[in-house]
Amino acid sequence: MTNFKMNIDKLRLPLLGKEATIKRKKNCMTQCLRNWIPTRLFPHRISNLKILILAVLIVVLIIIPIYYYRLSQFDLKYININYSMSSFHRSTRPTPNIRCSMINGPRLPQNHDHKTEARLRSDPKVLVFVETMYSKLGKDIAELLVHTRIKYKIEVAGKSVPVLTSLDKGKYGVIVFENLNKYLQMDKWNRELLDKYCREYFVGIIGFINPSEETLVGAELKGFPIFIHTNIQLKDAALNAASQILRLTRPGETVWGPLPGDDWTIFQANHSTYEPLEWAHKIDDYGHEGLMKTPLTTIVQDHGLFDNIQRVIFGSGLKFWLHRLLFLDSLSYLSHGQLSLSLERKFLIDIDDIFVGDKGTRIKPEDVSAMLSTQRRIQNMVPGFKFNLGFSGKYYQHGNPDEDKGDDLILENIDEFRWFSHMWNHQQPHLYDNLTQLIDDMNLNKNFAKEKGIPFDSGYSVSPHHSGVYPAHELLYTAWKRVWNIRVTSTEEYPHLRPARLRRGFIHRNIMVLPRQTCGLFTHTIYIDKYPGGRDKLDESIQGGELFQTIVYNPINIFMTHMSNYGNDRLALYTFESVIKFLQCWTNIKLSSDTPLQLAESYFKLYPEETDPIWGNPCDDPKHQKIWSKNKSCDSLPKFLVIGPQKTGTTALYTFLSIHPSIASNLPSTETFEEIQFFNANNYYKGLDWYMNFFPVDVNSSRYMFEKSATYFDGDLVPKRVHALLPHTKLVTILISPAKRAYSWYQHIKAHGDTIANNYSFHQVITAGDTAPKPLRELRNRCLNPGKYSQHLERWLTYFPPQQLHIIDGEILKSNPIEVMDELQKFLKITPQFNYTGHLRYDEKKKFYCQVLNGERTKCLGKSKGRHYPPMEEKSLKLLQRYYLSHNTALVKLLKRIGMRNVPQWLQDDLTDSPT
């Protein structure tokens, strides 16, 4: 014990020596301060304690400025921004705070290709069983599939299973159950049928455990060696990095914090077929000494070892953003790569309104430096990236002195950015109704670009507020071509602003229009404390929310931003750098950038079906009305259409309608006379302005406008196009015997000198085979195809309800037009009704009713109408009756289905006389 104490004393000796040294230094400091402090300030004796306190205060006052200077230098070095600290407000200017080990770190090995060499016999399409057509999760699944352009079919889970095969090929590559219980509780027959399909065609199943009021503990899934616990609150989700399902999703990180909802299901299995895909922990799930307990399985993969069917079962829906990624990966895996999304994403950020903005909101030199610094960091993550600046030259140097210096610094760094023309004075193009003035203003911007050395050959432009792009203002497209040779633009408005998942592209007048995305930042969102919902709302969008998902789902992204969010607290810089980092943390997506022209070419190579535009009705969208040409009116669109088919009496009906004082038709066309033929021909690509010029607005008239084009009836694209523009329009069609119609068409074009009709008999035309000359086959098709009435009417009824369709019996129109016109007026709800009795009279020479003029003489149709043709050969009639038998039978069923009480006599005769 004595020795131990001696050793301790020896150990203390150096410490005591140090203490003595400190004491001597303290006494020295005290004496120095006594000598240094003027006695006139402190005439009284100062104690050692007071001197020591004063010394500490002096040291603190010296150290704090040094400390903050060092800290500021560290921050500047860290974020690589070279600008004065005086303008850096750390409390209001957020910096990206995304941290994960995967950024610039080694990637874990993953199988990103789910494709198999096996010969698959199923289509890349998803069959989704929902509880109801309005159930929330079912809608979420459908919206996700729409957003990613994956083909699908929705079925309400019920007693029967839809047809799953076609010609020994599976119709679906993956089956999805919104509620897995609907699968587990299927009756034996349907369950065996579905399971057999999955085994035979190597089709997997995705199922979701739906929340229930009853909490289950250790409940076994019916028929499977797996148990569930329901209604659990969870936190801290992580992924199984070894799972072969992961492709789009990148494992290695943890989603810290509570997971959305309190109705999670976890899985426990006692069979080797099951493998966890995702884990999480219970809230407050800690064991002894604060150690975390074993994680719980929230998504489980069934490898099919139990019953030869592969499955993925989710313990929660798609509220959790990570589940959306894993759902897409599950589709890819279970479809053997047929439903895989590409990992390539193109990315462009437009900055509209460069030089535009009120004083105090514009960018300053330090903001330009921040843009350049952030751009360099983004370039390390996104090859080829440059901010794309849209300039309006009129407002250059319109800020305060510091902001004007910002304008100059932008121009000093012209080569660091991409550039596009906005508008010289930022005026909306649809407000111009004079092409010369619009071109003059564009030239002012072009001359500004030349003067300042701004590149003006990008072939890209964006108009303020998307004006003139859609709804299309033809003057804008013309001026763009003449001044800038624009080849590509972008808009959020096609086919409408919301929902964003439905935005698409189109091509008009050889200008490619790309869908533009928003990032949640707008002109008014200048400061983060003013952001709707606060910073948490913005971060939610970045970290798995809307902005993150927008990039995940869209292969090509053009984001709209404004200059104001690059100054002030620089929210745009924060937003985009953060979301790119988050993408790197959680996905295997490969981001790159390119010029707008190259992006457009890539887009329409991916989606060639989107090249044709679909003109919607601006009157149905308040936002579209605001950016629509001011000389257009909703009242100038037709309220009903006579859609044909040809040679059934449409011209006679057009004439009778024109007599009506409350009805007015379109202006005549120089090429097609009374018919515009807009929806079914190349005229459609001339645009909505071209179409509406045929319907001038008459402010003093409330007449019903209509259009008659007999070629609309059998046009494949016509119903879709008509519905997009005129969803509430009424449709009028005339039907006669299809055999009679075919013969009438042949005689009609023969009378007009058609070479084929004059060289071939009617029977030769309708019996022409597929090896016949092309002109002969085309004539055969024009004779026969329009007569497949049920087929064409079904297409119209896909878009329009039966209440908007009025079918006229062509034989009654010919024999009793007054009755027909009375019924038509009732259908159109025109009041007061016009009495046709004194305005139509039967003409013995023409053999049909004509218009009465001045109470005596009649005015009939042109010379080409009312011709008398030789009767059709009996063999041709019998052939056609046999040809149309199935179509006429289907027509009878259709007419009864839509509530038509009386089947036309000609239809009954054709079915009765048709040879068996």
Which tokens is 331 given?
């589709």
The Cα–Cα gap between 676 and 732 comes to: 16
> Over the Cα atoms of the chain, what is R_g?
38
Dihedral sign (CA 727, 728, 729, 735): positive
Exposure of 87 in the CB half-sphere (CA atoms within 13 A): 18
Strand locations in 509-588, DSSP E? Answer: 511-515, 517-518, 556-562
The Cα–Cα gap between 537 and 551 comes to: 18
The closest alpha carbon to 895, from 824, 808, 785, belongs to 808
Give, in order, the Cα–Cα distances in Å from 236 to each of 248, 312, 432, 544: 20, 21, 56, 15
* CB-CB contact of 464 with 428 (8 Å): yes
* CB-CB contact of 628 with 620 (8 Å): no
- Please list the alpha-helical segments (H only) found in 453-570: 474-484, 534-542, 546-553
Residue 149 has what DSSP assignment? Answer: T
* CB-CB contact of 559 with 314 (8 Å): no
* CB-CB contact of 355 with 393 (8 Å): yes
Q: What single letter denotes the amino acid at residue 667?
A: L
Buried b (16+ CB within 10 A) or exposed e, 818-840: eebbbebbebbebeeebebeebb
The Cα–Cα gap between 584 and 107 comes to: 10
Residue 170 has what DSSP assignment? Answer: B
171 Cα distance to chain centroid: 25
The Cα–Cα gap between 306 and 299 comes to: 18
Catalytic residue among 386, 632, 647, 730: 647
Exposure of 572 in the CB half-sphere (CA atoms within 13 A): 29
Other residues' Cβ atoms within 10 Å of the Cβ of residue 646: 19
Own/partner long-range contacts of 830-839 (Cβ < 8 Å, ≥24 apart): 830/660, 830/662, 830/663, 830/704, 834/659, 834/660, 834/661, 834/662, 836/656, 836/659, 839/659
Q: How far apart are the first and last CA of the chain?
A: 124
The Cα–Cα gap between 866 and 863 comes to: 7
SS3 call for 354: strand
Residue 567 has what DSSP assignment? Answer: S
Q: Is 235 exposed, middle or buried (0-12, 13-18, 19+ CB in 10 A)?
A: middle
The closest alpha carbon to 668, from 659, 682, 660, 658, belongs to 658
* 3-state DSSP of 380-424: HHCCCCCCEEEECHHHCCCCCHHHHHHHHHHHHCHHHCEEEECCC
State yes or no: is 647 an active-site residue: yes
Which residue carries 């129109």 as its tokens?
813
Which residue carries 């003409």 as its tokens?
843
SS3 call for 461: strand
The Cα–Cα gap between 784 and 795 comes to: 17
What DSSP assignment string belongs to 199-267? HHTT-EEEEE----SSPPEEEEPTTSSEEEEEEE-EEEEEE-TT-TT-SSB--S-EEEEEPS-S-EEEE
Name the residues annotated as catalytic: 647
